[in-house]
């Protein structure tokens, strides 16, 4: 921290160094959850401002980044609260694609898996997937066709491990609504990953 750049004597060295060191990380973190670059920029800015005001409370306990991420999480939840107030969602309103085509509709096996969409063996463990940076690009691409709120609910639940209650509170939805959103997100994501990652990895068999 001692070699902080001091371009202008008025600048707070801490804040500028923070921006250099953690700006991109916090931005990626926010984009992954908010799925909106503008909202993510705002959240990062609010985080730094709040951090600047509360710096005495930090007192160097733990890593700076962890502390900043903690503040960012609150800012992200605040964003959802605000947008929910501005545009409350109706029950069942665009929760994501239903993917009815995944299941047969006519023959004796109605509502069972359609062979063309049925899951196959992935031959993979989470550890193996994490090693491959490319996997996360496919993952991100797969999330993008989902409605913003569905993708966000999914990210808050699966990445941050928030409880159903916390997410419902932040998004202003009922728990049943959340379950429908999560189910559709999973149905879509699993299929998309299989098509774009596993089939490709297996040589397009």
Partner 1 sequence: MKIGWYEKIKHAIRYWLLRRLPPCKQTVEVISQSFERQLSLRERVTLKLHLWICAWCQWYLEHLEIIRNSMREKGAESPEMDFPSAPTLSSEARERIKRQLTREKH
Summarize as ranges the residues that interact with partner 1 (CB under 8 A).
Answer: 8, 10-12, 15-16, 19, 23-25, 27-29, 31-32, 37, 41, 44-45, 48-49, 52-53, 65-66, 69, 102-103, 109-113, 118-122, 124-126, 129-130, 133, 136-137, 140, 158-161, 164, 178-179, 182-183, 186-187, 189-190, 193-194
Task: Choose among 163, 164, 162: nearest CA to 174.
Answer: 164
Helices 164-171 & 148-158 angle (0-180, nearest 10): 150
Nearer to partner 1, 66 or 106 (CB): 66
Task: Choose among 186, 31, 158: nearest CA to 95.
Answer: 186
Task: Choose among 154, 128, 130: nearest CA to 142.
Answer: 154
Nearer to partner 1, 23 or 172 (CB): 23
Question: What is the C-alpha separation between 195 and 190, in angstroms, rounded?
Answer: 9
Nearer to partner 1, 84 or 103 (CB): 103
Give the phi and the psi of residue 111 in degrees, each rounded to 5. 70, 5
Task: Choose among 91, 76, 93, 107: nearest CA to 173.
Answer: 91
Nearer to partner 1, 85 or 123 (CB): 123
Smallest gap from residue 59 Cβ to partner 1 (A): 19
Smallest gap from residue 108 Cβ to partner 1 (A): 9
For residue 193, what are the CA distances in angstroms to 113, 163, 186? 17, 25, 10
Smallest gap from residue 171 Cβ to partner 1 (A): 15
Smallest gap from residue 203 Cβ to partner 1 (A): 19
Nearer to partner 1, 92 or 113 (CB): 113
Query: Three-state SS for 98?
Result: coil
Q: Hey, what are 20's tokens?
A: 């250099």
- How distant is the alpha carbon of residue 42 from its chain centre? 16
Nearer to partner 1, 87 or 140 (CB): 140
Smallest gap from residue 131 Cβ to partner 1 (A): 9
Give the phi and the psi of residue 201 in degrees, each rounded to 5. -60, -30
Smallest gap from residue 160 Cβ to partner 1 (A): 5
């Amino acid at each position: 921290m001692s070699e902080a750049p001091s371009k202008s004597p008025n600048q707070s060295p801490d804040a500028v160094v923070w921006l250099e060191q953690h700006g991109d990380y916090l931005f990626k973190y926010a984009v992954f959850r908010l799925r909106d670059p503008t909202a993510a920029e705002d959240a990062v800015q609010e985080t730094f401002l709040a951090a600047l005001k509360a710096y005495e409370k930090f007192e160097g306990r733990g890593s700076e980044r962890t502390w900043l991420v903690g503040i960012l999480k609150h800012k992200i939840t605040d964003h959802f609260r605000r947008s929910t107030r501005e545009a409350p969602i109706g029950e069942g309103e665009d929760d994501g694609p239903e993917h009815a085509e995944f299941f047969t509709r006519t023959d004796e096996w109605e509502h069972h898996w359609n062979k063309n969409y049925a899951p196959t063996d992935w031959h993979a463990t989470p550890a193996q997937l994490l090693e491959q940076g490319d996997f996360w690009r496919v993952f991100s691409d797969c999330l993008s066709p989902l409605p913003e709120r569905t993708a966000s609910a999914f990210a808050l639940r699966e990445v941050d491990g928030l409880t159903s209650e916390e997410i419902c509170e932040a998004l202003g939805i009922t728990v049943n609504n959340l379950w429908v959103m999560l189910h559709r997100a999973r149905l879509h994501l699993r299929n998309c990953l299989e098509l774009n990652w596993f089939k490709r990895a297996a040589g397009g068999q």
